[in-house]
Structure formats: structure tokens, C-alpha cells
Amino acid sequence: MSPAPLRIGNCSGFYGDRLSAMRELLEGEPGVDVITGDYLAELTMLILGKDRMRDASLGYARTFVTQLEDSLGLALERGVRIVANAGGLNPAGLADRVREVARGLGLDPAVAHVEGDDLLPRAADLGLEGALTANAYLGAFGIAAALDAGADIVVTGRVTDASVVVGPAISHFGWDASAYDELAGAVVAGHVIECGTQATGGNFSGFLALPRDTRPLGFPVAEVAADGSSVITKQDGTGGVVTVDTVTAQLVYEIQTGTYLNPDVSVDLTSVELAQDGEDRVAVTGVRGGPPPEELKVCVNELGGWRNSAELVLTGLAIGEKADWLQEQVEARWSAGTRPTTVDWTLARTDRADADTEECASARLRCTVLDPEADPVGKAFTSTFVELALASYPGFTLTAPPAKPTPYGVYRPAYVPRDTVEHVVVLPDGARRVVEDGGRVPGRPGALRPVRGNGSPDPATFPDRHGGLEGTVTRRLPLGTFVHARSGDKGGDANVGLWVSRPEAADAEQYDARLAWLLHLVTPDEVRSLLPETADLDVEVHPLPNLGAVNVLVRGLLGQGVAASTRFDPQAKAVGEWLRSRLVNIPEELM
């Protein structure tokens, strides 16, 4: 008889998520076996790096400690184990802080931590010069070893987001490193719940169809089975919903290509199958995996320099001419020695003619500057605008007082051979154990990507982008008429997942036709046409027909990453909604 599924709830999707979520999962029904938390984004590593520069004892997510103070007693009483990557740059320091908090509460949990991801002491030797932080993405076998040794709480540094789910599954079911399909299934489950309420209706393009009441969205739960399949659900009485669409939304979030590379396994995303399994229950099956990549990815953050910005309001007539004159005046006042290295001007035409409010008659002109030194983006920058207050366009207005420059970081991915990273678990009794490279099996060749499954169709077999036969009647409508989207950042790249809602069985034929149209519509050239800001960028398109989806990767849209981006939307969170709002020719037969 197969063991019962392991119920894993996630209480944090980012550093700053709802503090009450851990207790909510502990008190909710049905109960959970494990609570996980994901606190580490690329930007978070930079924030923690700055914390560590100010105080070497910091470098971890302090909100995790707050959650634990409120919930530790209840977790131990109910036998719920806690696994979180909140250790950031200082997992040992967080483990000590957890023990300190527990003693203050009169409790004595078994605490373990995982380390070895921090490559900063060897950064120069590894070719990572100039790094403020340099952390390899570790896998899940260290977490599993800690749980096998009886840990109640496991905190880690930079493991992959999904690893906090995969580790408990490895420990519970006894999977070994060659169980690629099982590991891949757990990675998918972990990826779906890692961002918390994004799996239960948060940031969902179909929000108009959700029951929008006053209850906070429930945090997701993954019921992981021994074969790696799972059911994504939430606890009774919590807000939000779990549907094929809400799970798809998270599944296509920040995945890049059709193969999702993890330290323990390469996941073939084209193999994933989703099906509604009852109210607020979505079954995830069919996931196939292959050997993991031969190198480990490293999150590298550097101090890039200093930044500042000024935003001005332009109202009424001749908006473009006003913007041009101000820009000419400012540029002329900067000598070769005072002009910042990077200058980005953006005019947002939010104005409209004959507006009945002043704000609706106004546009915003923003100037963002970056420089390796503070002086060119400090007073030398802000005084230029202040001194033009009475000497430029009519209605000159700054939206905020001049500000001091702030430092910014630059993220870049790097890759190192697996054998250069020592994956270490420190067990509850203090014993240190080096985790053997769980993802590599002696005698088995490595592969950067598994072979695509037979169920993945060739897009060339689909009708042409205008619906098939010449003369098809089309209507000019927003892409989002029946296409959902979810977007986000991967370093300097933007990722946009697009998919068609899966209808009731009676509408299966129309679903197939809509999917065929979407997969044929979305090409790199079409994306560049619909999103003119991508016109000069590399665009990749990866079909995921099992999910009714296509994934779009725009290389370089975000420059050097969120901390250095001068874009209005530096994390590309709304690029998908912009794309949905663009007009396309939709065949009448699909409406």
C-alpha cells in the first residue's frame, strides 16, 4: 500500500508576505504535515547583502522569526515540521536565532540548517569578481537529510524555491537521486505553491470571475503522492479559489523555456497535465523528469552605483513640445563632467483632450539616471531641475522634492561546476554532513534538457494565424478576450506566460481551436509588434500545449535586473496585462 500523500502548505511567497499565514495554516482544516516558506528573490539577496554589510549577524529574513515566535508552540504540538529558505546569507545565524526564540518560549525544537551555497569567500577564484553576494542554487537532498535526522525546523540559504517542498517529499517517500519523474513532480508542486496566494487567485488575470469577498486569499497546499503526482488545494473557509487556471497561472510564471532546470532534476514542462479534481482541487499528473544540468546556477549581486530620478507634470496643450524643450534645456546644462553615465527619459501620455479634471489633462515626464559615482546623480542632477522651475515650460511642476541618490545593485546569473560547491547540512546535534551530489547518478549521462514527449505537437500543424482558410472573418479585439497571462522577471529578462482557459467538456472543440490559434499567433515577430518596447530585443517563444499555453521570454527588457532597471515596471509584473490589452485579429468562429 502506498503511503498517504504528504500535505505541504506554503506560508510565504516573498520577504514581506502576510505574517499571519503560518498560524493560519496551523489552525486551518484539513491540517498540514509540513509548512514551507519562500523568502528569497534575486532582489531579496541584494537587500540581505546590504543588511549584512551593516551588521554581520544579519543577512536572514527577519519576518520568519516573527512568524515563528507566534506559531512555534502550536507547530510542535501538532507535529508540523517547518522548512524555509529564510536563512538567506546567514542560515547558521538564523538557526541560532530560532533556538534563542524557542528558549524564550520555553520550547526545545530540533533545529537544522543547510549551507554551502555562499560562494563569496571564493568569488574571485570562481571568476565572480566584484560580487556583493554570490550564492549557488542548492537542491533538496540536504533538507531531506535534516528531516531524516529528526529536525523539526530546517532553515536554508539559497536553495531553489521548489526545494523546500521537494526535500520533505524525498524524506517522506524515500526517493533516491535517480527518481527523476517523482522529483520532477515534486518540483512542479513546489513551483506552484512557492509564491503563496498566486496559486489561489492572487495576481490572476481572470480575477473578474473570482468570488471577490473580504476574506484574505488562502495560502496553497500541495498534497504530494509517492509517485510525484500532486493535488493543489487550500484549506476550508479561506478566500480565493484553486482552479486549473489559477494553477496554470503560477505554473507558467518565470519558467523561461519548456524545460525547468533544477539542481536535482530537469523537468519537462510539456509533460505536465492539469485537471480539476473537485472544488478547489487541481490534480497535477504526468510530469516527466531527466538528469539535472551539469552546472549549478549562481545568483550574483554587485553594487552597480548610484541612481536618482525626477518626475515632472506637463498639463494641457503641446505636451510633446513641452517635454522636448525641458529635455533640451536639461541636457544642455550637463557638461561632459556632470552628465550621468545612464540617462533615461520617459514620457507617459496619460493626458486626454478636453479633460474634466486637471490630472486627466496631464502627462508625466520622468528622468532616471544612474552613475558609478554619487555626485553626478546627486545635487548636480536635482539642482538642474530646480533651477528651471521658473525658466521652462508653462505649468512646470515636480511631483516630489529633490531626493538624495540611492545605491543600486546589479544582478547577474553565473554558472559553476557542481563539484565546486560543497552542499552541507548541519544536523540538530551539531554534526556536519556533506551532502553527496544527489542529482548526479554514477554512470548516467547528464543532460541539459530531457527529450520532449510525444504529446507535444508541432506548431506547424496548426492553422495560420488568421484562423485557417483565406477569407476568415475576424474582429479586432484585445488578446485578453479569452487569453490569460502571468508575467514576471528573471534577472534582466521578462517572462510572459499566455494560456487559454480550459472549458467544460462540451466546449472542448472551441478550446482546441482557440489554443491552435494562440500557438500560431504568438511568434517572436508578433510579440515585437504587439509590444513595441521589445522591437530590438531577442524574443523566444516556447509552446506548452498540454497546459493550453505558450511561454514568451524577452531577453534584456529589464536591463541589469530589477534593482538597476529604469523601467516603469522594473519586475515586468504587468507586461502580461499590457499584452492582453493589445488588439489582435480574432476569428469570429472563436468568439
pLDDT digits (tens, 9 = 90+) for 174-219: 999 999 999 999 999 999 999 999 999 999 999 998 888 889 999 9
CA distances from 358 to 9, 17, 48, 352 (A): 48, 36, 42, 10
Residue 518 belongs to some domain of the structure: yes
b/e 115-144 (16+ beta carbons within 10 angstroms → b): bbbbbbeebeebebeebbbbbbbbbbbbbb
CA distances from 335 to 338, 339, 357, 365, 367 (A): 5, 6, 39, 22, 17
Q: Which candidate, 146, 147, 184, 192, places its Cα nearest to that of 166?
A: 184
- How far is 199 from 238, CA to CA, in rounded Å? 13
Residue 380 belongs to some domain of the structure: yes
Are 388 and 426 contained in the same domain?
Answer: no
For 524-583, what is each residue's pLDDT tens digit?
999 999 999 999 999 999 999 999 999 999 999 988 887 788 888 889 999 999 999 999
- How far is 164 from 136, CA to CA, in rounded Å? 15
Are 74 and 127 contained in the same domain?
Answer: yes
Are 257 and 121 contained in the same domain?
Answer: yes
- Is residue 162 within 8 A of residue 138, CB to CB? The reply is no
Q: CA 178, 179, 183: angle at the middle one, nearest 5? A: 120
Are 230 and 340 contained in the same domain?
Answer: no
Expressed as residue numbers, the domain containing 39 is 6-299+413-434
Which residue type does 287 have?
V
Are 405 and 358 contained in the same domain?
Answer: yes
Query: Beta strands 259-261 and 266-268: pairing type?
Result: antiparallel
Query: Beta strands 230-234 and 220-224: pairing type?
Result: antiparallel
Which residue type does 206 have?
G
Which residue type does 332 have?
A
Query: Where among 378, 410, 442 does a domain terminate?
Result: 410
Its pTM stands at 0.90
Beta bridge partners of 111: 153
Per DSSP, 580 falls in state H
Q: Which candidate, 515, 480, 478, 517, places its Cα nearest to that of 500?
A: 515
Residue 102 belongs to some domain of the structure: yes
Instruction: Judge residue 429's burial from the number of C-beta atoms within 10 Å of its C-beta, 0-12 exposed, 13-18 middle, 19 or more buried.
Output: exposed
Are 238 and 313 contained in the same domain?
Answer: no
Quote the number of domains for the chain: 3
Are 161 and 91 contained in the same domain?
Answer: yes
Residue 451 belongs to some domain of the structure: no
The list of the chain residues with pLDDT below 70 reads 336, 438-471, 504-506
C-alpha cell at 516: 491552435
Query: Where among 410, 426, 444 does a domain terminate?
Result: 410
Are 37 and 63 contained in the same domain?
Answer: yes
Residue 449 belongs to some domain of the structure: no
C-alpha cell at 576: 502580461
Residue 450 belongs to some domain of the structure: no
Are 516 and 530 contained in the same domain?
Answer: yes
Q: What is the pLDDT of residue 573?
A: 94
Residue 27 belongs to some domain of the structure: yes
Per DSSP, 83 falls in state E
Are 190 and 146 contained in the same domain?
Answer: yes
Are 119 and 27 contained in the same domain?
Answer: yes
Q: What is the pLDDT of residue 471?
A: 58
List phi, psi (to 5°) of 523. Answer: -120, 165
Type and span of the H or E element at 93: helix 91-104
- The CATH number for 390's domain is 3.30.70
Helix (H/G/I), strand (E/B), else coil: 273: strand
Residue 322 belongs to some domain of the structure: yes
Are 151 and 41 contained in the same domain?
Answer: yes
Query: Where among 434, 468, 493 does a domain terminate?
Result: 434
